[in-house]
Structure 1
Amino acid sequence: MENITLSNGILTATINPKGAELNSLKNNNTEYIWEGNAKYWGKHSPVLFPIVGTLKNNSYLYNGQPYALSRHGFARDNVFTVKGQNENSVTFSLSSNEETKKVYPFDFELQLVYTLNQKSLEIKYNVINKGAEPLPFSIGAHPAFALPGNFESYSLVFEKEEPLASTQLENDLIGNTSIEIATNGNVLPLNYGLFANDALIFKTLTSNAITIAKDNEPVLKVNFTDFPHLGIWTKEDAPFICIEPWQGYSDATNSNGIFKEKEGIIILPENETFTAAFTIEILKGKKL
């Protein structure tokens, strides 16, 4: 299936049906999404479902039975169908099948809805429980934004000035310690040393938006009101930054493996729908 392109005369978005993954977001030929160079990281903006992060021993228990499930789940590796499309919006759908039930024994439909609105792109997730029992899941976003030029000329401007305590990972799992991330007011200047222990993970924030700025000029804003947790990540020398709104996160190091008791898990009643959205707003030409 070919990529789907949306355009409103201001922004152009390109989405790959595999993973319903945003591959490109352009304004006046300026690309804002990471190109996916496998030298650093070969993805652009994968959806994380039905887990965010890593499970302890890459497995979980449901009704006493073990299931294997790899990091960030399987949705990003599956081809979605196009359920509806117009000039400014497209809806992708992935439903449970024999293969998904081998690792996740639930009936579900996952929809990703992309909508252009002036200088912003909304990405909405609908998780529909189509089974006869509660649906446990986590979901998250992993967009990577291109940072051409000197990485240290960029900064992250949080919506509010607040203490930033990043939960430390231990072997990809949530550990018992956190470190304070130093800021200049609500501004976090970027440097690769911030990510020496992998991602920054914020279980709680009062900010609902982060602006990427270059030399104190705003580039774009990620608004994530519907998501209580946030990850920020890059790799050494890589010219991108991931700002990752999450519902859920990795297992804790002391996890008992029981899926319904996992930290950050959502339990969706039968026949109900969970909805959450975030937006990417292009700010080039505006002032902080």
Structure 2
Amino acid sequence: MTTSISNSNLTAQIKHLGAELFSLKNKQNKEYIWEGNPTFWGKHSPILFPIIGSLKNNSYIYNEKEYELNRHGFAREMEFELIKKTEESATFSLFSTLETKKIYPFDFELQICYSLKNNKLNIDYKVINKNEITMPFAIGAHPAFALPGNFNDYSLEFQQDETLKYYLLEEGLISNSTNELQLYNSQLGLTYQLFEKDALVFKTLKSKTITILKNANPILKVNFTDFPNLGIWTVVNAPFLCIEPWFGYSDTLNEYDDFSKKEGIQLLKKNETFESNYSIEIF
């Protein structure tokens, strides 16, 4: 099943499977979301929960018990329920089940709300801890933006003119090795060479907005004020780019004793609610 929302500027379409945004078009019918061609990558904008990236050996320890959990978690593969709908907004909900508790032993509700306002799509996350104990989790976005034509015609404009320190991945895990990229007038030209060793992972970033430019003309802006971490990724020779606001990231090569002590993990106290949002602004 799918749900559509629209206003005078934009139309968005969301799959109930994974509550995944798969289309965002302007009134000229220009598509901004990657089509999901499986030759390169068969997703559009999956929701990452309750982990981001990979765990060592796809497993973790919690309260001295081992659990298996695949890359990016299970929310993206589960059917969400549409719980509220207006012409310009749609809210989806996912509850823990007996099956999810076998791999993530917590009661939760995850809500995703998509809403349009003017030329902007807002995506709101809500994680509700329904346990009497603290619940560790990670949550993140993975939107892929369509970049037709010559990839080298595109660049990224960061909110601040900063030196970008990013972490390298080793077999999907965060290594201790880092590289730096120097911005010029707050901009970074895009080349596939940047992504030959997988994603660029930023644990800290001063900028909280990134604008995609084509031949110096702005196309769209991702606003992620709430999010402490970020990934930027594409597949070499693929006509898309992912700008991924995160709360958390893959396991590091360093050891940790318990899932609740994992680097970057969020700790939500009993019966409390976590809320965050990011937005996609179209020019």
What TM-score do you get using the length of structure 2 for normalisation?
Answer: 0.99
Identify the residue that residue 277 of structure 1 maps to in structure 2. Answer: 277
| Aligned-partner SS, 1:30 | coil
Identify the residue that residue 175 of structure 1 maps to in structure 2. Answer: 175
Structure 1 segments unaligned to the other structure (5+ residues): 284-288
Alpha carbons 2:162, 2:182 under 8 Å: kept: no
> How far 1:142 moved relative to its partner?
0.1
Identify the residue that residue 236 of structure 2 maps to in structure 1. Answer: 236
- Counterpart CA distance in 2 for 1:57 and 1:213 is 38
| Aligned-partner SS, 1:31 | coil
Alpha carbons 2:156, 2:212 under 8 Å: kept: yes
Identify the residue that residue 266 of structure 1 maps to in structure 2. Answer: 266
Alpha carbons 1:60, 1:257 under 8 Å: kept: no
Identify the residue that residue 130 of structure 2 maps to in structure 1. Answer: 130
Alpha carbons 2:162, 2:183 under 8 Å: kept: no
- Counterpart CA distance in 2 for 1:62 and 1:124 is 28
1:230-261 CA-partner distances (Å, limit 9, x unpaired)? 00000010000000000000011122351000
> How far 1:272 moved relative to its partner?
0.5
| Aligned-partner SS, 1:19 | coil
> How far 1:170 moved relative to its partner?
1.2
- Counterpart CA distance in 1 for 2:174 and 2:75 is 22
- Counterpart CA distance in 2 for 1:15 and 1:88 is 12
Is 1:55 aligned to 2:64, yes or no? no
**One-letter amino acid of the structure 1 residue matched with residue 31 of structure 2:** E
Is 1:10 aligned to 2:32, yes or no? no
1:58-82 CA-partner distances (Å, limit 9, x unpaired)? 1000110000000000000000001
**One-letter amino acid of the structure 1 residue matched with residue 71 of structure 2:** R
Is 1:108 aligned to 2:119, yes or no? no
Identify the residue that residue 190 of structure 1 maps to in structure 2. Answer: 190
Aligned Cα root-mean-square deviation (Å) = 0.7
- Counterpart CA distance in 1 for 2:141 and 2:255 is 23
Higher mean displacement: 103-112 or 257-266: 257-266
> How far 1:183 moved relative to its partner?
2.6
- Counterpart CA distance in 1 for 2:22 and 2:132 is 35
| Aligned-partner SS, 1:24 | strand
Alpha carbons 1:173, 1:253 under 8 Å: kept: yes
Identify the residue that residue 46 of structure 2 maps to in structure 1. Answer: 46
Identify the residue that residue 150 of structure 1 maps to in structure 2. Answer: 150
What is the aligned residue count?
A: 282
Identity of aligned residues (%): 58
Structure 2 segments unaligned to the other structure (5+ residues): none
Identify the residue that residue 25 of structure 1 maps to in structure 2. Answer: 24
- Counterpart CA distance in 2 for 1:49 and 1:12 is 26
Alpha carbons 1:165, 1:181 under 8 Å: kept: yes
- Counterpart CA distance in 2 for 1:280 and 1:131 is 33
> How far 1:34 moved relative to its partner?
0.2
Alpha carbons 1:159, 1:207 under 8 Å: kept: yes
- Counterpart CA distance in 2 for 1:232 and 1:275 is 23
Identify the residue that residue 286 of structure 1 maps to in structure 2. Answer: none
- Counterpart CA distance in 2 for 1:6 and 1:250 is 33
> How far 1:131 moved relative to its partner?
1.0
